[in-house]
Amino acid sequence: MKRLLSQVPSINKILLNDKIKSALEKYPEIFVKDIIKKEIDLLRFNILKGYVLEVPSIDLLINNLLDNLEKESKHSLRRVINATGTILHTNLGRSLLSNSVKENLLDVAFNYSNLEFNIDKKSRGSRYDHLTKIIKQLTGAEAVLVVNNNAAAVMLTLNTLANEKEIIVSRGELVEIGGAFRIPEIIKLSGGIPKEVGTTNKTHLADYKKEINENTAALLKVHTSNYKILGFTKEVGNEEIANLAKENNLISINDLGSGQLVDFRKYGLPYEPTVKEVLDSGIDVVTFSGDKLLGGPQAGIIVGKKKYIDEMKKNQLTRALRVDKMTIAALEATLNIYLDEERALEEIPTLHMISISKARLEAKAKIFSEKVSTLNFDVDIIEDKAEVGGGSYPASYLDSVAVKLTHDNKLATELEKSLLLDVDVPVITRIKDNSIILDMRTLRTSEFDTVINNLKIALSVK
Q: For the segment 149-161, what is each residue's pLDDT rounded down to a tens digit?
A: 999 999 999 999 9
Which range, 43-47, 126-130, 156-160, 179-183, has the best average confidence (pLDDT)? Answer: 156-160
pLDDT at 169 over 90: yes
Rg (CA), the chain: 28
C-alpha to C-alpha distance for 297 and 305, rounded to whole angstroms: 24
Of the given ranges (20-34, 152-166, 180-194, 320-334), which has the lowest mean pLDDT?
180-194
pLDDT at res. 206: 95
State the pLDDT at residue 176: 78
Residue 1 has pLDDT above 80, yes or no: no
DSSP codes, 405-449: EE-SSS-HHHHHHHHHHSSSS-EE-EEETTEEEEETTTS-GGGHH
Q: Give residue 227's pLDDT.
A: 63
pLDDT at site 225: 63
pLDDT digits (tens, 9 = 90+) for 250-268: 999 999 988 899 999 988 8
pLDDT at 401 over 80: yes
pLDDT tens digits for 79-119? 999 999 999 998 999 999 999 899 899 999 999 999 999 99
pLDDT at position 5: 87
For residue 296, CA distances in Å to 38, 102, 144, 251, 292 come to 42, 12, 16, 29, 7
Phi (first) and psi of residue 343, to 5 degrees: -65, -40
- Across-strand partners of 124? 117
Checking if the pLDDT of 76 tops 90, the result is no
- In this predicted structure, the answer to whether residue 407 has a pLDDT above a threshold of 70 is yes
Its pTM stands at: 0.88
Asked if residue 285 has pLDDT above 80, the reply is yes
Query: E strands, 148-189, where?
Result: 166-170, 176-177, 181-182
Q: Which amino acid is at 395?
A: A
Summarised one tens digit per residue, pLDDT across range 235-249 is 889 999 999 999 999
C-beta of residue 229 within 8 angstroms of C-beta of residue 222: no
175 pLDDT tier (thresholds 50, 70, 90): confident
- Would you tell me how many other CB atoms lie within 10 Å of the CB of residue 220? 26
Tell whether the model's pLDDT for residue 179 goes beyond 80: no
Quick one: pLDDT at residue 71?
Answer: 85
DSSP letter at 78?
-
Q: Side chain identity at 270, as an amino acid letter?
A: P
- Position 200 confidence tier, pLDDT thresholds 50, 70, 90: confident
| Better-predicted residue by pLDDT, 401 or 223 | 401
The 8-class DSSP code of residue 251 comes to E
Query: Using CA atoms, how far apart are residues 347 and 444, in angstroms rounded to an integer?
Result: 13
Q: H-type helices in 264-357, by residue range?
A: 275-280, 306-314, 317-320, 325-337, 341-347, 349-355
Calculate the dihedral angle through the C-alpha atoms of 73, 76, 82, 86, rounding to the nearest 10 degrees.
Answer: 170
Integer Cα distance of 85 and 96 in angstroms: 14
The answer to whether 315 and 152 are in contact (CB under 8 A) is no
DSSP-based three-state secondary structure for 352: helix
| 74 against 442, higher pLDDT | 442
Q: How high is the mean pLDDT of the chain?
A: 92
Neighbours of 208 (CB within 10 A): 25
Give the pLDDT of residue 38: 92
CB 272 within 8 A of CB 325: no
d(CA 88, CA 70): 31
Query: Which residues are bridge partners to 392 per DSSP?
Result: 389
Q: What pLDDT, on the 0 to 100 scale, is given for residue 262?
A: 93
* pLDDT recorded at residue 233: 78
pLDDT of the residue at 232: 78
158 close to 192: Cβ distance less than 8 angstroms: yes
pLDDT (mean) for 345-372: 96
Residue 423: closest CA among 393, 394, 459, 397 = 459
pLDDT digits (tens, 9 = 90+) for 312-328: 999 999 999 999 999 99
Is residue 74 predicted with pLDDT exceeding 90? no
Taking residues 174-193, report their average pLDDT.
82
